[in-house]
Chains A and B, each alone.
Chain A
Amino acid sequence: MILRPTWDDHKVVGMYAGKIIMGIGLLMSLPLITSLVLGEWDTAADFGIGLFGSLLVGLLMQLLFWTRKRLARRHGLVTVAIAWLLGTFVGTIPFALSGHYGSYLDAVFDVMSGLTTTGLYLIQDLDHVSNGLSMWRFVLTFAGGQGIVVIALTFLFKGAGAIYQLYAGEGKEEQLLPNVVQTARAIWVISLGWLVAGASLLSITGLVLGMRPARAVLHGIWMFMGAFSTGGFAPQSYNVIWFHSSVYEALCVIIFVAGSLNFALHWAVWHGWRGELLRNIETRSFAATLAVLSVAAAWALADTGIYGDWVVLFRKGFYQLVSAHTTTGFGTIYSRAFVTQWGPGAMLITMAAMAIGASSCSTAGGIKGLRVGLITKSFLGEVRRTISPESSRITVRYHHIRDQVLGEPVTRSVLTIAVIFLTMYAVVAVAGVFAGYPVEQAAFEGISAASNSGLSCGLLTPSTPDLLKGVYVLAMWLGRMEFIAVLALAGWAWAVVRGR
């Protein structure tokens, strides 16, 4: 029997979602301050309206749904799914008012892309947007990378208990510290530490490249946010090519690979266990699949003969592959070059990298290296079982922060999520084909959206059919939530209709 949620249950969800909406609203103060400092009055007015609107919505939700009832396990995931949806709509206000979007849907697309750290975009005339608007793009992607619930937990929540469900709803399951609020704050400490170091290095590099100081600093901060959140947004339409600098490229690679590592791994390394970097199943899985796919891409690209020597081949091939594998979406080739120069073979390899993705409990998307590593271990365990005597007992172990035994429930869980991801990739690719695009381009763009990667082969433009844009928005949301929170929301809706 399905139990229908009571009005009190709805109130708990509404109240906590309201808190998270307020958190997103407060983030708008950063672009608002940027606009005011730089004298961009129109943009400042847009953000003033957005800030007021989101605080009003958040506050009204908290007043309307105020309850003493505590957040329980069944409320957490639904709250996260609703908060991400409503957060996307309130976050769209400044974009929609900016005049840089062809439609409200395009603006919603960019906010969802930013929050889910995807990096695909539909903004028009990107090279001439105001600094305030640019700041909002990067704040969205940086905040989305850490998790908007993590932000709310850091600044707006007290205590712990069932609040863990909110945290887990964003696809983060690792607790760095026994208290989930402390865990959220630890994630911010790690990210802010990297922000100071990474943005400083990028700013200095920008200055050396001849950029004006203010521009070098802003670009340094923005590129860091785009890289560490594995978001892929860049302040210029030419993305990383715009900088024409191998040093800038190399720094970005280090930052986005760091951003794609598990926060628990960062925490362990910070606390002196540097050996964890080499022992952890996720880093091993990432290094192995990246190496295999990079060599395969090098082979495919060498066959096409588009790059004259191995240095250029490595610089272009490795960069796109590592960007795809970490689901960042930064590129050092033009989008259409995937189709016109790389060809189907190298595109397929890039799709595989995007589909796998990087670490769990990081800013990255995709199936995740941990799951790929565990599936591989499970498969090898099965092979060992098959060739061993019947009386032998085979135990599969893996190392992730500590030595663990790979049990049946974990294997079933990772396989289920992997299969759902693969199904979603197929569905989104088919949607692109139905919209009239060639199969390899539809698959590339679809996997990019669903794995929150953001590399584009040039399919997505403001003139793309609205239905396909909608499918991509849904895929980005599902991929970032790793389905669970969205399925919980669907189950909640079903219980409202059919429950007793």
Chain B
Amino acid sequence: MRARTRSCARLVRPVQGLEAVNRLIQGMVAEALLVVGIAVAIASATLLVTLVTGL
């Protein structure tokens, strides 16, 4: 329980108003970029598979 509380305390950094909105948007963009990155990597792997299998 102590560990959980410490973890939460570390997470709490009060952000309010426009700064909170700005950070939320930045976070969403970062998460979207992660998805795009994974998709690009898998697309490249798919291309490789089709080259190997001769599709």
Contact = CB atoms under 8 A, between A and B. Distances in A.
Given A287-B38, A302-B53, A318-B42, A176 B31 contact: no
A277 B34 contact: yes
Contacts of B11: 176-177, 264, 267-268, 271, 401
Contacts of A302: 49-50, 53, 55
A175 B4 contact: yes
What is the interface residue range for chain A against chain B? 35 or more
A290 B50 contact: no
Contacts of A253: 35, 39
Contacts of B30: 269, 274, 277
Interface string B28-49: 1011101110110111011101
Contact of A197 (B15, B28, B55): B28
Interface string A277-303: 110000100010011001100110011
B55 A305 contact: yes
B8 A266 contact: no
Contacts of B8: 175-178
B45 A298 contact: yes
Contacts of B32: 254, 258
A272 interface: yes
A193 B53 CA distance: 44
A211 B7 CA distance: 47
Contact of A271 (B4, B7, B23): B23
Given A178-B5, A197-B25, A295-B42, A310 B55 contact: yes
Nearest to A272: B23
B4 to A, nearest CB: 6
Contacts of A290: 38, 42
Contacts of A257: 31, 34-35, 38
A60 B19 CA distance: 44
B53 A258 contact: no
A402 interface: yes
A33 interface: no
Interface string B15-31: 10000000111111011
Q: Which of B28, B41, B46 has the most CB of A within 10 A?
A: B46
Contacts, number: 109
Nearest to A270: B27
A142 B45 CA distance: 34
B20 to A, nearest CB: 8
Given A283-B34, A291-B38, A401-B7, A310 B28 contact: no
A261 B42 contact: no
A238 interface: no
Contact of B41 (A268, A291, A307, A313): A291
Given A261-B31, A277-B30, A302-B49, A270 B23 contact: yes
Contacts of B39: 253, 318, 322
A309 interface: yes
A274 B55 contact: no
B31 A277 contact: yes
Nearest to B33: A277
A334 interface: no
A413 to B, nearest CB: 15
A317 interface: yes
B29 to A, nearest CB: 9
A314 interface: yes
A176 B12 CA distance: 8
A283 B8 CA distance: 20
B45 to A, nearest CB: 5
A83 to B, nearest CB: 24
20 contacts: A175-B4, A175-B8, A176-B11, A178-B8, A190-B24, A194-B28, A253-B35, A254-B31, A254-B32, A261-B31, A270-B24, A271-B13, A271-B23, A272-B13, A283-B34, A298-B45, A298-B46, A298-B50, A310-B55, A318-B43
Given A176-B11, A177-B12, A277-B34, 7 more contacts: A175-B8, A193-B24, A193-B28, A266-B31, A291-B45, A317-B46, A318-B42
Interface of B: 4-5, 7-13, 15, 23-28, 30-32, 34-36, 38-39, 41-43, 45-47, 49-50, 53, 55
